[in-house]
Amino acid sequence: MRLKSFPRVVCAAFVALVSAAGCVSATDLPVQRSERHAFRVVQLADGLAHPWGLAFLPDRRILVTEREGGLRLFEASGAGGDEVSGIPEFYASGQGGLLDVALHPDFASNGLIYLSYAGRGAGGVGTEVARARLTGNTLTELKVIFRQQPKVSGGRHFGSRLAFAPDGTLFVSLGDRGGYMREAQNPENHIGTVVRLNDDGSVPADNPFVGRPGVRPEIYSYGHRNVQGMALRPGTDVIWAHEHGPRGGDEVNILRPGRNYGWPAITYGIDYSGAVISDKTGAPGMEQPVVYWVPSIAPSGMDFYDGDRFPNWRGDLFVGALAGSHLRRLTLDGDKVTGQEVLLEDLGERIRAVKSGPDGLIYVLTDSYDGQLLRLEPAE
């Protein structure tokens, strides 16, 4: 595990002007203009080692994972960045490392957090999930509650987003691990699936494949390539997810129990070499995406906006883009995408994660060796 020095902290919004040299207020920052809102981008911290996931504590402090580093804890202002000790051992190579973080729905009373990461085991590497109790800057009572099976070689496509549903079950996305894409159509293993767990890692009795011979009971859906975005749609019990296509064919999907999302039997993309992966974009018994992108934008991280600071964005879906180096805003009418807008393109940064914060603002992580924690604030 490689750790970097503490991130450099910069001034944050809502903090009065202070005397530190070089510190500016949010009102001094350039105004960005979108179709529906004017906003400013405030840098809360930089110097992060490929930040990957973030979660908000009840007191609005922010947990941030670093793929090649560790787990850091920031004040709401961006101050701090202290390292949290007691994290699980993880495999930091290729796309693997310490990945997502999520709070238990009853975190305020039990202090439990969940981490996903690439873990070593018999046969190679695979996505794992650990649960621990956060006390100060330390994790205690660490327990691994899920291990992808089988573990395989290679450092690609770990998936690894975490999302809790209103019933308290935990959704975990798992990639096809790169060279094992054909296994995404084989529900006898976890490759290319989304699994649904109870908060202790046990299998919910109402999972779609419970009791079916030859199918892993944890599986909720399968036929996925590399799901790096999941979010609960506000006001519903439905989880939406997006996944990387190969060269083109990135998808946003609505997760339904027991459904097959087609990879690699159907796809709107082609291989990186230009070769055809499948000549079909649809087939009976396989789900179609809500929207797909050709060419690829390489989506990572997503969230629905349900705050009050950007009222004209309420209900919109925000998706980070790695290859496209922007934040994509999708407007919806029911389950249909009715419009798209590109934001933050002028930053030239790969967007790894996006979250709607409890303060009604939007938080973004950029993916680089000098990654940043950013906040979007209304300019009005």
Beta strands 51-56 and 62-66 are antiparallel
Tell me the whole-structure pTM to 2 decimals.
Answer: 0.93
Q: How far apart are alpha carbons 105 and 112 in whole angstroms? A: 9
Q: What is the pLDDT of residues 303-338, one digit of tens each?
A: 999 999 999 999 999 999 999 899 999 999 999 999
Q: 248-276 pLDDT, tens per residue? A: 999 999 999 999 999 999 999 999 999 99
Indicate which residue of 37, 50, 104, 157 is catalytic: 157
What is the percentage of the chain residues whose pLDDT exceeds 90? 92
- CA atoms of 49 and 368, how far apart (whole Å): 7
| Cis ω for the linkage preceding 299 (within 30 of 0) | no
- Residue 321: CB atoms within 10 A of its CB come to 26
Q: Which of 325, 299, 335, 357 is nearest to 42 (CA)?
A: 357
- Report whether 289 contacts 251 (CB < 8 A): yes
The secondary structure of residue 185, as a DSSP letter, is: G
| Interval 53-72: pLDDT, tens | 999 999 999 999 999 999 99
Mark whether 157 is an active-site residue: yes
**pLDDT surpasses 80 at 244:** yes
Residue 347's SS3 state is helix
**Mean per-residue pLDDT, 158-171:** 98
* Alpha carbon 335 to chain centroid, angstroms: 21
Please give the structure tokens belonging to residue 156: 């690609």
Domain boundaries, the chain: 26-378
Please answer whether residues 219 and 191 qualify as being in contact, where contact means their C-beta atoms are separated by less than 8 angstroms: no
CA 167 to chain centre: 20
DSSP string, 322-333: TTTTEEEEEEEE
Give the chain's largest Cα–Cα span: 67
Burial class (CB in 10 A: 0-12, 13-18, 19+), 192: buried
Domain range 26-378, CATH architecture: 6 Propeller (2.120)
**Residue 312, token pair as written in the block:** 């004209």
Hey, how many other C-beta atoms are within 10 angstroms of the C-beta on 157? Answer: 28
Burial class (CB in 10 A: 0-12, 13-18, 19+), 73: middle
133 close to 139: Cβ distance less than 8 angstroms:
yes
- Closest C-alpha among 154, 148, 162 to residue 192: 148
